[in-house]
A = this chain, B = another copy of it.
Amino acid sequence: MNTDKKKPTLLIALGGNALIQKGQEGTIEQQFENLRISIRQIASLVNDYKIIITHGNGPQVGNLMLQQESCDEVPKLPLEILVAQTQGQIGYMIESVLDESLMEQTSDFNPLVSLITYVAVDENDPAFVNPTKPIGPFFTAAETEKLDYPTMETPNGFRRVVASPKPVTIIEKREIQRLIDDGFIVICCGGGGIPVVRNGRAFNGVDAVIDKDLVSALLATEINADLFVIATDVEGVLTDFNTPNQKLISQMRLDEAEEFLSSNKTGKGSMGPKVEAAFKFVQDTGKRAVITSIESICDSVNGKAGTQIIQ
C-alpha cells in the first residue's frame, strides 16, 4: 500500500456508458461486465495517484422512477431519495468491481469507501424558475394530467421536467479531503449528488438533478485535485461530429475551449456540459483536465488519448 501523501490527486468522472452501453437493455450482469473496462484501468493507477471516482445515474434513476409510477401500493418517494438509492446501488457495484480488480494486483491495497454524498444548490438558482431537464419515463398527454409534477413535450412523448441547478458546494468535501489524504480511495457524488438546499440549520432535499460533470469539476476544485478526467462514450471532443471529417481535438487551451462553448461546434448537447466542466476546473485551478473514452482512461491520464484541456 502506497500512502505517499505527495502523490497527485486524480478525480475520474464515469459516464453512464461505464455501466450501460448503447443499445443494451442494461441487465445487472451487463452493468457489472461493462464496469470492469473502466475499473481495471483505474486499479492500475492507484500506486501513482490518490483516486476519487464519481459517476452518473441517468438510466438507473429513470428505472426507479418508472417502477415507482407503476406501483400505487407504496408511498411515492421524492427524487432526491431515488438519487440516494442509485448512490447505494452504483456505489456498491463500483466498489465491489474495484475491490476485485485491486485484489488481482496486490493483497495490500489502499482502503476503499463508497460514500453517500449530498450537494448544496441555491434555492434562488434561476433553474428552479424554469426547469428544463427531462428525466424518467415517457407519458401521453392524457397521462400527464394525473401527475403531480411538471412535464414537457419531447420527440418521444411527455416527460417529467426538473430543475438542473448549479452545484454550490459538496457537503462532505471536508470528509472526502481527509479520506484521500489518509490514503483512502473514495467513490462519491453519484448521479451529481443528492440535491439539497439550506433551510436554517438543516439541508432539505429538492426535486432537481445536478449535472454530474459540473459536480465533479467542483469537487475536483474543492479538494485540490491535480487532474480531472471525464470518461464518456466518445474518444474526446470531436470536430465535424458524425460526419466523414470527424476528428479528435487532442488539445484545447482555455481560450479555445471558451470559443468552443460559445460556438457549440458539436451540434450535440452532451459534449457541452463536459467541456464546460473541464473548462471551469482548468480555469479555477490552472491544472489539467481530459475528456476521453471509457476505454482510454489510462492513456488519457498519460497524455496519450482524449482531449487534453490546459491553461
Is the Cβ of A67 less than 8 Å from the Cβ of B63?
no
Partner of A194, one of B26, B80, B92: B92
What separation, in Å, do the CA atoms of A202 and B100 have in the docked complex? Answer: 5
Chain B residues with CB under 8 Å of A80's CB are 92
Number of copies: 2
Render A74-89 as a binary contact track against B, CB cut-off 8 A, 1 for contact. 1101101100111111
Report A58 CB to chain B, min CB distance, Å. Answer: 13
Q: How large is the interface on A (under 10, 10 to 19, 20 to 34, 35 or more residues)?
A: 35 or more
Given A67-B67, A84-B88, A112-B175, CB of A96 within 8 Å of CB of B118: yes
Partner of A111, one of B86, B118, B174, B205: B174
Beta-carbon nearest neighbor of A72 in chain B: B70
Given A88-B87, A92-B116, A115-B115, CB of A100 within 8 Å of CB of B203: yes
A–B complex contacts, Cβ < 8 Å, 15 sampled: A28-B78, A63-B74, A66-B73, A66-B74, A77-B89, A80-B92, A81-B92, A84-B88, A86-B88, A92-B194, A99-B203, A103-B202, A113-B116, A113-B175, A116-B187
Given known contacts A63-B75, A66-B74, A96-B202, what 17 new A-B pairs fall within 8 Å (CB)?
A: A66-B73, A70-B71, A81-B93, A84-B93, A85-B85, A86-B88, A91-B116, A92-B194, A95-B118, A99-B171, A100-B201, A100-B202, A103-B202, A111-B174, A115-B115, A116-B116, A182-B182
